[in-house]
């Protein structure tokens, strides 16, 4: 794990799926998700199998987790990043994640201090993903 530049929490580095690199910080091949504030930031490299369970036990693994992590990093501005969020969430769902259920579980998780209002964004995201 690496420290989050925004809050100092532990961040999980992961490989960004090629189809989603345009939505990654610095459009990079690697990014990191903070397990406290849920922000994403660029990373220099990542383990082959990142442990997203450090965020929450219900967080999906693999490409589904990477796509959801990117979406979480974008959720502070749903109005400006609507298409990017939709693309990341759709990718996560195709890879096997239940995005809205994961947000429900994150909303009640201890130890999180998200950079966005999870409950409010979850409702807005449900409307977007219809």
Residues of the chain above pLDDT 70, percent: 100
**22 falls in which pLDDT band (50, 70, 90)?**
very high
> Would you state the pLDDT for residue 128?
85
pTM: 0.96
Average pLDDT, the chain: 95
pLDDT above 80 (res 96): yes
What sign does the CA torsion over 104, 105, 109, 114 have?
A: negative
Two tokens, residue 99:
């995005």
Q: Treating both helix axes as pointing N-terminal to C-terminal, what angle do 62-74 and 99-107 enclose, rounded to 10 degrees?
A: 60
* 3 state SS for 24-46: CHHHCCEEEEECCCCCEEECCCC
Between CA 93 and CA 31 the distance in angstroms is: 20
């Amino acid at each position: 794990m690496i420290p989050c530049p925004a809050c100092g929490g532990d961040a999980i580095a992961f490989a960004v799926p090629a189809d989603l690199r345009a939505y990654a910080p610095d459009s990079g091949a690697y990014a990191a998700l903070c397990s406290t504030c849920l922000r994403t930031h660029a990373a220099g490299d990542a383990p082959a199998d990142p442990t997203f369970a450090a965020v929450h036990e219900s967080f999906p693994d693999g490409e589904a987790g990477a796509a959801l992590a990117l979406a979480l990093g974008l959720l502070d501005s749903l109005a400006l990043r609507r298409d990017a969020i939709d693309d990341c969430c759709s990718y996560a769902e195709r890879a096997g994640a239940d995005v809205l259920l994961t947000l429900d579980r994150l909303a009640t998780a201890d130890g999180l201090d998200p950079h966005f209002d999870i409950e409010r964004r979850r409702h807005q995201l449900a409307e977007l993903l219809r």
